[in-house]
Amino acid sequence: MERQRVMERGEKAGVSSSSNGGGEVDVVVEMMDVIEAVGLYVGYRRTQRKECLNLVRRLKLLLPLLEEIKEIGNYKLVPSEGLKTSLDNFKKALLAAKKLLKKCSCGSKIYLAMESEAVMSSFHAVYEKLNQALDDLPYDEIGISVEVKEQVELTRMQLKRAKKRSDTQDIELAMDMMVVFSKKDDRNADNAILERLAIKLELHAVPDLKAEEVAVRKLVNERGVQNAESIQQIKDLLGKFKQIAGVDEAVVLDGPFSSKSLQRCRSLLIPHEFLCPITLEIMVDPVIVATGQTYERESIQKWLNSNHRTCPKTGQTLGHLSLASNFALRNLIQEWCEKNNYELHKKDACLGSDGISAELKEEISSLVQNLSSSEFEVRREAIKKIRMLAKENPDNRILIANYGGIPPLVQLLSYQDPNIQEHTVTALLNLSIDETNKILVAREGAIPAIVEILQHGTNEARENSAAALFSLSMLDENKVLIGASNGIRPLVHLLQNGTIRGKKDAATALFNLSLNQTNKSRAIKAGIIPALLHLLEEKNLGMIDEALSIFLLLASHPEGRNEIGKLSFIKTLVDIIRNGTPKNKECALSVLLQLGLHNSSIILAALQYGVYEHLVELTKSGTNRAQRKANSILQHMSKYGHIP
């Protein structure tokens, strides 16, 4: 209740006016309420969480200053016009900070990830406003103590450092977003990328997905996204996240309810306590978990089967995984249904308590046993069937692993039959989409065998081996293991000589592996740079963005900068900045900026190739990200006196 009162006071502070608030003391109290209110915000989006927490911490450091101004003002402060203006500007800066923090607490996770650089620019603007407001305060006139002045100076130094901090964009996240938004992509790692992105954006649980749909709908209604293509991208990605979470429901942004909710408008009359917190549907078989919360049995069992060990509603770790039937609530629901003539959707009698049919469990158990059959045809059919089941949905991946399917599949990677190898490596690729299965597959020693197939298998087996290595490399320990197992060189070879799909799978894997510093050196020694240059030249492959994204990673390594920073490459970058697609230009500008920050002669070379006029043009007409990158390069040129 106290939390609610503080939040309400913080909201009111945003609409009240210092001229009507009873003097400067009232303004100070409003500012203190704003800081208290933002201190109660929770659920900051992962892409901005660190920045939000740092900003809140810095705002709290300003409370002693406001306390002192309030105390002095209560008995002796006679405000000047300058003080009134300073306090008014200070309040405006705090409200700007509050608005930004609220956006990062309640806004669409997908939109905030897409616009992460623009949001970072908003943080920098807030830092500038706060710093200016603190600088303008007449400390001597107010009579602020030395101790508080020192604390304010410390805060100002932190704000200045935060504003100067270079672009810390999550390059892995940016690459994943680029892949899933690509309309022409045809690679085998798509599901693995979606799974990683869902986890990274914390959009893999049903309650989070429902909250995101509400946030996106609000964004659209407020016209916060003007670009129709961006809206469609967000909608499509949210739909994909729902699919991998097993939610069979369309994303509807132009109405107050989802399509499923519209079909069940009567459910709005259902008592809230009768609805499962996960699905928001009336419960048929309510059960109690360790935290005392009640869920529909099928829904919570799926949650637990996906290796979650927390209560979806409270976030608390579950002390045990036992489920106790809530008979009292079930009786109340049945009574209410009879009284209101509401027909409950009965659960399929063939389904177990975990929502999975006994027939499917029996089938998977039998298939896992057949993996060890002495009959070649029985074994081959079992692998093919497991491959298809593992592709279909998350529950199947978990079931196959739980029935012991991974160890025999790993052994079959070494079977001397190309067809068996192809189906086996693809089955393991599909199974590895599950986070826990990534650990199990690597622990069974699959990586060296997958690398072997990558070198000597059929075309499809090599492509799927590359995709499997990508999926496994989402875990940092597996990045190291793949590099140590000589997996980089055959991936570079596939990038050079594979089919278009093979090249794309290899590029995705190499990007992920190159997030590890040692692997960057391995990739450079394996000849990745000539292979990437070829991708830039062969525009019909449509892989310019992937190539430039890997170049951006390699540019952070001394060996990479030495190899990349040659005149021919700089000329290619300038050509892309001149003639590329909007996304091409963004990527090329990022690489040029990274290289130029370490070597000003790179900027000089780019100027000689005519980049200046294109940079100026992009600051006016480029995408938001292109404008920021172009401005950064121009500022760097100006710093070293390179502006023509």
pLDDT tens sequence across 552-597: 989 888 888 888 877 688 999 999 999 988 888 988 999 999 898 8
- DSSP notation for 490-525: HHHHHHHHS-HHHHHHHHHHHHHHTTSHHHHHHHHH
Cβ 66 vs Cβ 6: under 8 Å: no
Of the listed ranges 122-131, 150-159, 175-184, 372-381, the one predicted with least confidence = 175-184
**Residue 228: its pLDDT value, please?**
65
Residue that is written with structure tokens 């406001």 in the block: 66
pTM score of the predicted model: 0.62
pLDDT of residue 640: 63
- Range 477-505 average pLDDT: 93
Homologous superfamily (CATH) of 272-340 is Zinc/RING finger domain, C3HC4 (zinc finger) (3.30.40.10)
The answer to whether residue 18 scores a pLDDT higher than 90 is no
pLDDT at 252 over 70: no
Confidence of residue 409 (pLDDT cuts 50, 70, 90): very high
E strands of 558-627, at which residues?
none
pLDDT in tens, 313-325: 887 888 888 888 8
For residue 167, what pLDDT is reported?
45
Q: What is the pLDDT of residue 352?
A: 56
CATH 1.25.10.10 is held by the domain 354-443? yes
Is 411 a residue whose pLDDT tops 80?
yes
From 43-47, 338-342, 350-354, 434-438, the region with the lowest mean pLDDT = 350-354
Task: Report which of 424, 289, 299, 281 is spatially closest to residue 344, judged by C-alpha positions.
Answer: 281
Q: Which residue has the higher pLDDT, 189 or 299?
A: 299
Task: Give whole-number Cα distances, 640 to 129, 143, 601, 605, 615, in Å.
Answer: 28, 43, 10, 14, 16
- Calculate Rg over the CA atoms of the chain: 29
Residue with tokens 């060296």, as numbered in its chain: 448
Within a 10 A sphere around the Cβ of 54, how many other Cβ atoms? 14
pLDDT recorded at residue 641: 62
Asked whether the predicted pLDDT for residue 292 surpasses 60, the reply is yes
pLDDT of 164 strictly over 50: yes
Q: Which fold has domain 445-536?
A: Leucine-rich Repeat Variant (1.25.10)
Range name among 267-276, 401-410, 412-421, 473-482 with the lowest pLDDT average? 267-276
pLDDT at 632 over 70: yes
At residue 496, the pLDDT reads 93
Q: How many other β-carbons are positioned within 10 Å of the β-carbon of residue 11?
A: 14
pLDDT of residue 190: 64
State mean pLDDT over 443-452.
Answer: 95
State the pLDDT confidence band at 454, using cuts at 50, 70 and 90.
Answer: very high
Give me the long-range contacts of 255-263 (CB less than 8 A, separation at least 24).
256/217, 258/213
Instruction: Compute the average pLDDT of residues 181-192.
Output: 60
- Average pLDDT over the chain, rounded to whole? 82
pLDDT value at residue 539: 79
Residue 295 has pLDDT above 60, yes or no: yes
pLDDT of residue 353: 54
Mean pLDDT of 470-492: 93
Buried-state track 490-527, b at ≥16 Cβ within 10 A, e below 16? bbbbbbbebeebbbbbbbbbbbbbbebeebbbbbbebe
pLDDT over 50 at 257, yes or no: no
pLDDT at position 370 is 94
> Which is higher by pLDDT, 112 or 539?
112
Q: Provide the pLDDT confidence category of residue 487 given band limits of 50, 70 and 90.
A: very high
Which of 220-224, 336-340, 483-487 has the lowest average pLDDT?
A: 220-224
**Does 125 score more than 60 pLDDT?**
yes
Most trustworthy range by pLDDT among 104-108, 116-120, 318-322, 523-527: 523-527
pLDDT tens for 43-102 read 888 888 888 998 999 998 899 999 888 887 765 555 677 788 888 999 999 999 999 999
In the predicted structure, residue 196 carries a pLDDT above the cut 60:
yes
